[in-house]
Structure 1
C-alpha cells in the first residue's frame, strides 16, 4: 500500500542495523554464526523452571513500575558486595525491559536539545542515534586503532560548556578493551566539579578476563554520584531474548529516568523478574562467568593461531577482533560478505561501529558460542584464509 502521508525522518541517514543485514545474509548462505553477540547455547534449566514456576503461581500481570522489590533488593546486596556502593532499592534501582531500554531512557531523560554527548568509537550502534533523537549532538572520540586505549587529552579537548554526558562502555563492545585504573583517574579528574553525567554501559560486567577486576562506576564514589550504570540480565544469564536489564543511579537522576521508563514500557516482564531474584541468591550464577568465557576466548584464539588473521587481545566481553589488512586490500565490509559467501562464516565489520567511513581492516568475532561452533568456525576461516592469504 502506498501511504498518503510523506514522513519526515528523524534519522534520515539510518537504515537497517548491520546485525539484521548480516543475519539475513547469513541465513541466505547458511553461514555459521560468529557475528551476533548472543549465546547459541541453553541457559541454566533451573532459570527456565523458575520462570514457569512464577507463571504457575500467577505472577503474570504488571510488576511495580520500578521493578519487583525482591529483585531490586537482591541487586542492592549484590552491588554492595561487589563494588562497595550501597544503592537504595526503593529510589536508586530500576528494572528495565533490556539494557537497550535503559540506555534510551537515561539519554532521553537527562539530555536536552543542543546538549553534547561524548562517546568512544568504535561504539555500540545505538548511542549516537538515541542522542540525535533528543535533538542533542553526539561527539565521537576515536579509540586508538593500535590498542583501543582512550586518549584522554582528546576527551578533554572535546569537552565544552554544552557537554552534558559522557558514555563509557567497559568491558567494551566491540573491542574487548577494559578500563584501567588510569582511565578511571582521568575520567574522575575530567568530570570533577562539572554537571556532566556519566552513562556507563556495563552489560559485560561479569565477563572480565585474566584476573582483572570489573571497574564499575559504582566502585568509585566520585564517579558513582554522577553516573547512571546500565547492565543486563540477558548477557549474564544467557537469555538475551528475555530482554530484562537494570539501572543504578543516584535518586535525583533515577527520578527523571523513571519518568521516561514508565511511558516506554512501564514495567519489565514479571515472571522473569521473579526468576532473576532467585538466581541472584546464588552468587556463583554470575561469579563463574569470567572463567567460562575466558575459556571460550582461548578456544577460538588457539584454533585461529595458525591462520593469517591477527587477533587483538580481548580483556573482556564476548568478542575478539581479527585483523586481515596485512593480507587483503578489501574493506572490512567486503571481507565480511566474502567470508559469508565463501567461508560460510558470519562475522561483523568493525567499520559498522563508526559514524564515518572508517575502514579498519578488521572484523569482530563473537565467542559466546558452544565449543563445536567455535572450532568449526575457526576451521572454516583457517581453510579459507590458507587459500586466499
Structure 2
C-alpha cells in the first residue's frame, strides 16, 4: 500500500505527524553562535505550518568545523538554547532534527580563527589560507566530537540527528577522489574513502542507541569532475545500510565548494551572490562566476532519476529531496517507494505550505529564482526575498 504523505508515520523511534520534512537551509540567525529568538521563531513558522519535522541546519561538532564564526558549535554552552528551541517546536506538535556536521574545506578558517582541515591540503577560496590535511589524531578527535555533540542534542530534546555527509563538507570531501588524494588508510580505494563516514555513523549510533532517529544527508552525485559519482555513492550507501547505523538516508547532491547550483536548479542570481561575499571572494566570483555558479534548468523532483537507482538497490528508508513543492510530486515519491520527502525553498516561500496542502488551498508559490540562497550571508538571515517585494 502506498503511504499517505500527509498521514502520521514513524522515523526510527520517532513519531511524525506526516512524512514532509523541512530540509536543512542555513538560517543565518545565530550572530553569537548560539540559539537566538530569531532562530526559534524561524523554526516555529514551519512547525505551525504543518511539517512533520523541521531541521536545524549546520550544527558544527567542533570549533574549526564551523562554516564561519557565527555558526552554532554544539557544546554545553549551547545546550540551554537548543533545549528552548526543541521545546518550542514540540509545543506545536512537530518533531525536531539537528544536522551535525564538520565543514572541512567549506569552513572559513580566517573567520573561525583556526585553519580549516580537510582530507588533503589545498588552498581555501573562502579564507585565502592553506587548509591543513587532517591527521589521525584529528580524525579520532572529530569522531569523538560527533558522538559528544549527538549526546548534547539528545539532552536538549532533539528527536533526530542528521549526519552531514554531503556538499563537500568533511565527510563528503573524504569520499571525493579530487578532494582526497591521500595514500593512507583514509584515501585511495572507495572503502578507504568511505571509512570516515562509516566510523562517524557508528560513533553516533553507539552514543545514542535507539533514543533518537539517526539519519544522514548523503550525496547521490557531487556534480563535479572527480567528485563522488552515483555508482560509487550507491556502493557507500549499501555499506551504510549493512552497518545498521542509520534509520534513513536523505539523498542530496552538489558541492558547496565546487558546484553549488547543482543542488538548487533554476535561476542563478550571480550578482546577488557577488554582492553578498567578502571582498576577496567577490573579486574571484566576478572572474569565474559563470563557471562556478552554473545554470541548471529547474524541474520538479530533479534528483528523482538518480534517486530511483538508490531505491532499486537499497531496502532502508530514503528521503527524496530536490525540487519538491507540489502535492502530486509528494504522492509520486511515495508511489515510487520513498518513505519521506524533504522540502526547502518552497517552505521558505510559504512556511504554511503543508497546512495548505492538507486543506487543498496550496499553490506553487516558489518561482525557483534562488535569490533566497545568497541571503544566508545577510545579517537579516535566510529568507524569501520575493515575499519582501510583494
Please give the TM-score of this superposition, normalised by the length of structure 2: 0.31
Structure possessing the higher radius of gyration over alpha carbons: 1
The structure with higher relative contact order (CA 8 Å, sep 6+) is 1
TM-score (norm 1): 0.31
